Chains A and B, each alone.
Chain A
Amino acid sequence: MNKELVFKRVAFLSATLILIVLVSIFIMLFFDAKSAINKYGVYFLVDSRWNKTIEIKSTESKTNPSKLIAKTSKTNDDVSMNNDNLFADDSSVLGDSESLDNSAGDKAVDESVDTNTNVKTDTIFGGYIPIVGTILSTLIAMTFSIPIAMGIAVFLSEIAPDFLIKPVGIAIELLAAIPSIIYGMWGLFYFAPIVQNTFGGSQMSLLIAGLVLGIMILPFMAAITRDAMNTTPDVIKESAYALGATKFEVVKDVIFPYAKVGIIGSVVLSLGRALGETMAVAFLIGSVFKVPGSLTNPTISIPVVLANNFGEASGDMMSSLFYLAFILFVFSFITIGAAKFYFLRGRR
């Protein structure tokens, strides 16, 4: 009897561990990102500067969001002392402009202020470019893979002769099992040159990364879309065929409406996976902090920023990386959560 209770408790704790791990991922990422969140705030999301050293001059402090400087003061005492200076400078400059017909003495003060403030530099981190890169590469991947995945799913559930369903199905699932780093290698050495020759642009680009990402999520999306389509009862399909519908009409007017929710769920779930994919993209996106002017330009995505910089980072950069990781986690949690809760609910 006692053993029974112990077993139940242990099982309960193991189940609770999942909750604990997820909550601690949230907390740890937020905790480690906190200094960056405090320093850059929401502006981080639209700031395209990454690892840019800027000088905090008194004149610049007016154009900069003052919040940024005020927040800096929280991070360490040294800066907060400088910060006091800075505000003092600010007022002196203001005073300067008020009395424009100033004396030589005033100018000297002004200069000394300048040299004083030039010493203070700050490194700014903003997440705009990786966020845009992540969204764009995922969009390209989805645009490429949705039609093909639908085609494969329709083929497997309606068209394929019986002897083909199994082997093709297994082949598609094996394609899903291949580690992502292999897609990256293959993409880099074999697929990228073809894309480059066809569309021009650089050796690594947003387009190449997006396409390889699309090829990577293709089998996953196809497999779960097929499962969703297969939930359509045969009776309904047969009724439609009996009324003289063609296969396409059955797919369009019977299977799609019936399995709509499941199919959308599959697509959203694949989107969630694509958002967080690292290795396939890391080889191909070019890892350049630049807003891509065209699809064939290199850029960077959040997972790739993390993969490339986590090892050596410290201070503000580290905290900014955690900020990015937190953003990515929240993004994909919401996406995958939406897919699971809203669309795939009844499919268990």
Chain B
Amino acid sequence: MKGTEKRRLIINKIILALSTISALLGLIFLFWILITLFLKGLNALDFSLFTKDLVDGGLRNLIFGQFMMALIATIIGVPLGMLAGIYLREYGSGKYANIIRDLSDIMMSAPSIVIGAFVFAVFVAPFGGINGWAGSIALAIMLIPIVVSTTDNMLSLVPIELREAGIALGGSKHKVILQIILKAAKVGLMTGILLAFARVIGETAPLLFTSGTNSFWSTDLGNAFPSLTVSIYDLANFPTDKARDLAWAASFLLTVIVLVINLIGRFIIRDKG
């Protein structure tokens, strides 16, 4: 009796220790990656990177290009995603809405490179070459399902009484949605959009053969468009130290952008949500 008791306790201790160790391991990887990035990135970081284009050894055009494409993706994707989310939560009932919801969830995890291939087939091949619009559209396709799911979830948190009160005041359904429900869910929606933006700005695979990248300053979305992530891939595979340093600096900036946006999102939620 005492022996089994002891064994149970020992097994318990071992398993708990193992599980704590795995949590530690996860944290070690996070800090390992972050510390590497900080050391390598800060070392290579220089103010001139923000004033010169890639062709002169800077990153200005790349940062601008990446932001631009993520921004256009957001402008295209957020209204469509929010409307779809509104439909699913407020109008959709029954089978159709459920199917769309499931498909949207599947699309959220679909391989990004396949979305790149699709956009290539539709927006690159017929137009004779890689272009910034195609890159933005690829990112928008990645972004829409995230916004749909956020909108769907956030609207489900708005109490039904608000809807009833709005209708009782004589508002039509779309007015109630636009003026009451969306306002009530504002904080959650903003956070969701921020996180979606953070997700797509770090994407590489859908941009590889849609926008490509460009060493020069460009605002012309009809041609190869500068992309920070695609250039990181190119630079990291370049054999010179200078190119690698630049890749590290770019990776550092990208990670800082993504993590800061994520932290802001979490902070907003904790503060007000």
Contacts and interface: CB of A to CB of B under 8 A. Distances in A.
Asked if A and B are interacting partners, one says yes
A152 B19 contact: yes
A21 interface: yes
B105 interface: yes
B118 A25 contact: yes
A310 B19 contact: no
Contacts of B121: 28-29, 31-32, 322
A3 B118 contact: no
Interface string B212-245: 1000000000000000010011001100000010
B62 interface: no
B208 to A, nearest CB: 5
B172 A179 contact: no
A229 B155 CA distance: 25
A17 B262 contact: no
Nearest to B130: A311
Given A18-B104, A341-B102, A175 B172 contact: no
Contact of A269 (B22, B102, B109, B205): B109
Interface residues of A, number: 90
Given A3-B174, A282-B233, A22 B262 contact: no
Given A12-B91, A310-B120, A279 B36 contact: no
Interface stretch (A64-72, A82-90, A106-114, A244-252): A244-252
A21 B107 contact: yes
B199 interface: yes
Contacts of B80: 14, 17
Nearest to A332: B111
B232 A185 contact: yes
Contact of B19 (A154, A278, A321, A348): A154
Nearest to B97: A15
B89 to A, nearest CB: 10
B262 A174 contact: yes
Interface string A135-156: 0000000000001111110111
A247 B208 CA distance: 48
A48 B15 CA distance: 44
B113 interface: yes
Contact of A283 (B19, B81, B116, B236): B236
B22 A329 contact: no
A7 B87 CA distance: 10
Contacts of B120: 310
| Dominant secondary structure at the B interface | helix
B232 A190 contact: no
A321 B53 CA distance: 33
Contacts of A282: 233
Contact of B258 (A17, A177, A276): A177
B59 to A, nearest CB: 15
Nearest to A179: B202
Contact of A171 (B30, B199, B247): B30
A185 B115 CA distance: 23
Contacts of B16: 159, 247-248
Contacts of A336: 105-106, 109-110
A43 interface: no
Contacts of A337: 102, 106
A151 B204 contact: no
Interface string B78-99: 0111011011101110000101
Contacts of B103: 18-19, 22
Given A179-B203, A186-B36, A279-B204, A11 B209 contact: no
Contacts of B102: 337, 340-341
Interface stretch (A118-126, A195-203, A214-222, A235-243): A214-222
A18 B33 contact: no
Contacts of A294: none
Given A7-B173, A279-B205, A282-B233, 4 more contacts: A28-B118, A175-B26, A182-B37, A325-B113
11 contacts: A13-B83, A31-B121, A177-B262, A180-B204, A182-B37, A246-B9, A269-B109, A282-B233, A303-B113, A311-B209, A325-B117
